[in-house]
Chain A
């Protein structure tokens, strides 16, 4: 579903944020991307989502090169940044309709999907109000709904559990499994190692822009915990 080959990104100031990254996310997989602050997680996710330009390496989503066929690749993708800024001047329902229009979601489907997710996240009653009046958590829920109604083949999430209440977090985990159940894939970054350990089929750990470990969660963790593995890797060379 997602293939990242020899991806590198150097920022204008000269900082090499990611160096020769290779990753593959198969259909049906929830893939966790872990690393300390500034390790290169967000840079990678933004490049995968086609939000950020890059010159080294190739990224393909469902067979579409994100640089050569960005529209086709984005059509099957949904991306949620860590702090999603939405249009404050639109109401919640206007924003969801706007996204549904951009992704050509048929009228009947969008109605049913908006209803399903808005009711689950309990924000149906607020959909008529301007987004500017929403709390941070409500904005995050709205952004999540806007991603889920697309029924994406690849869902890319940057720290999706930050700011969500426990009920919404639980719901989200269920929806991630649902996407994988219908042949999609999820690629997300997180600092919540317990969640990653329980939820992800595979995990990759990045440090200073370089992939230091990647594999099936059970094999990677072994008899230890993900936290211990992560801390050991962080300790090496520091």
Chain B
């Protein structure tokens, strides 16, 4: 038991350390790790509070408050999956310390269970901080049960966190298996799996948003739908809201049984699984042909591309904004007539909805989620010596890393803004402004991500997943990018009366350009020194 406890402690520490802001004193770094986790919990708390009270306000008048708990439990699982589905491959199966750990006098079962528990704790944080406000909203809007309700809900939440952990385990295994078995083709399969999982998320969220729009009329249908695939969620709601012991037992069984089954299945073969995952396909019949040649920058760009497209977690976590941007623009073009009808209706209703600023906001928001540079230094990891030893300046490295992000972002932006201009009937000047705003923001966020990563490097992460999904620089870059968009929106609101809805976008553009100048100056001066000190 002591060994198992030590393993759990180690894995939890590894998880917390991934959130840490590098450098500084030990205590401060540890606090920053915990602080980042608390920040994520607060974010979950805020989101949950907003949704819970919105649901409860609509459901209470029709006497179906129980549905609020039911829907929030689905949201808790979805949120947990968003954060841990892609992390399981690295955390459970792909640890760089596999050899070291498997050589220790601990059973493979204990090792796997300890790693799974770290994943479970991460899910538990999200589910707890989503379900607690849901419970409060339930009570505020007149749901009965009081303290007993809260106790049962907390108990259910402890088991609910097993659901995303279970799915993450299976998904992680499939991805790890594909990486180990399929050689070069595994990248394609992994990318397709990520895309499929993302599509499922999007469908779920869209359905939820639809239901939210007219909850009262959907209420009966929703409860009916949950008697099928969503039975565990229905049982949770019955247990918490009606104090139904049988439902509680049924819910616990639904959560625990498949989880234990999959842990038992994987744990019994854990060593075999990890060993086979570690064995890469290798050949010894290579014949040296004509060797290609290019310049230093081109070589570095190719390396960046190899890492980005060859690491699904990096591709989808950091580049999802671009996929969504292109998807949204294509959808706008396909549904041009419907969109035109909607805009005409809004105009007729005198809503005064400015099309260009709205399009700019949507484009800029999606661009702010593209964070290719933010983990790029950390992803060099122990191979950073290769770049530092090479006859290329730190500034040259920065240019390549920022350039790679822009090489993906600017063409995507160009295509999507052209599509949007056609779909929304924008003038050439409007299109130019939209593109300029997006381009300036792209440069700014690319520079911001790189600078954040130099300030908060994580060169000793156990796997790439930790760097891409959980490192402090990624979080700071994402929030910083969104902050920039928000600042641009505030400037728009403040100057709209004076400049009109189109020209009021210019202060935002100036802000983004100023951000680019400041960040490049920082990178060229302090950034170079920081790179040398890594």
Contacts and interface: CB of A to CB of B under 8 A. Distances in A.
A124 B286 contact: yes
Interface in A109-158: 110-111, 114-115, 118, 124-130, 132-134
Given A85-B382, A89-B306, A102-B392, A126 B286 contact: yes
Contact of A125 (B286, B295, B298): B286
Interface stretch (A70-78, A165-173, A214-222): A70-78
A51 B388 contact: yes
A13 to B, nearest CB: 11
B291 A97 contact: yes
A100 interface: yes
B293 A107 contact: yes
Interface string B268-282: 000000000000111
A49 interface: yes
Given A89-B311, A125-B286, A102 B293 contact: no
Given A87-B383, A90-B303, A97-B291, A71 B284 contact: no
Interface residues of B, number: 39
A67 B59 CA distance: 68
Nearest to B296: A102
B105 interface: no
Given A86-B383, A90-B306, A101-B298, A132 B280 contact: yes
Interface string B429-446: 000000000000000000
- Chain A interface size, as a band, is 35 or more
Contact of A126 (B284, B386, B529): B284
Contacts of B307: 87, 89
Contacts of B285: 125, 128
B292 to A, nearest CB: 6
Query: Which of A50, A90, A96, A98 is most buried by chain B, counting CB atoms within 10 A of its CB?
Result: A98
Given A98-B299, A101-B293, A85 B392 contact: no
A79 interface: yes
Contact of A103 (B294, B306, B391): B391
A56 interface: no
Given A85-B383, A93-B288, A118-B288, A110 B388 contact: no
Query: Which of A101, A127, A130, A134 is most buried by chain B, counting CB atoms within 10 A of its CB?
Result: A101
Interface in B94-122: none
Contact of B291 (A51, A77, A114, A134): A114
B290 A111 contact: yes
A76 to B, nearest CB: 9
Contacts of A75: 391
B389 interface: yes
A125 B284 CA distance: 4
Nearest to A146: B386
A209 to B, nearest CB: 20
B391 A51 contact: no
Nearest to A104: B296
Contacts of B281: 129, 133
A50 B292 CA distance: 28
B305 to A, nearest CB: 11
B293 A110 contact: yes
Given A100-B293, A128-B283, A130-B282, A71 B386 contact: no
B147 interface: no
A129 B296 CA distance: 23
B286 A51 contact: no
Contacts of B529: 53
A183 interface: no
Contact of A127 (B286, B295, B391, B393): B286
A130 B392 CA distance: 25
Contacts of A124: 286-288
Query: Which of A81, A102, A105 is most buried by chain B, counting CB atoms within 10 A of its CB?
Result: A102
Query: Which of B288, B291, B294, B307 is most buried by chain A, counting CB atoms within 10 A of its CB?
Result: B291
Nearest to A87: B383
B293 A97 contact: yes
Contacts of A84: 385
B257 interface: no
Contact of B386 (A53, A87, A133): A87
A133 B279 CA distance: 7
A98 B303 contact: yes
B313 to A, nearest CB: 13
Given A53-B532, A87-B386, A89-B306, A127 B293 contact: no
Nearest to A127: B286
Contacts of B282: 126, 129-130, 133-134
Nearest to A92: B286
B533 interface: yes
A102 B390 contact: yes
A45 to B, nearest CB: 11
Interface of B: 280-288, 290-296, 298-300, 302-303, 306-307, 310-311, 381-383, 385-386, 388-393, 529, 532-533
Interface of A: 49-51, 53, 70-72, 74-75, 77, 79, 81, 84-87, 89-90, 92-94, 96-107, 110-111, 114-115, 118, 124-130, 132-134
19 contacts: A51-B389, A53-B529, A70-B393, A71-B391, A79-B389, A85-B381, A85-B385, A86-B383, A90-B303, A97-B291, A99-B390, A100-B291, A101-B299, A102-B299, A111-B291, A114-B291, A124-B287, A129-B280, A129-B286
Given A71-B391, A79-B389, 12 more contacts: A51-B385, A53-B532, A74-B390, A75-B391, A81-B385, A84-B385, A89-B306, A102-B391, A104-B295, A106-B293, A133-B282, A134-B282
Q: Which 3 A-B pairs have the closest CB atoms?
A: A128-B286, A101-B299, A133-B282
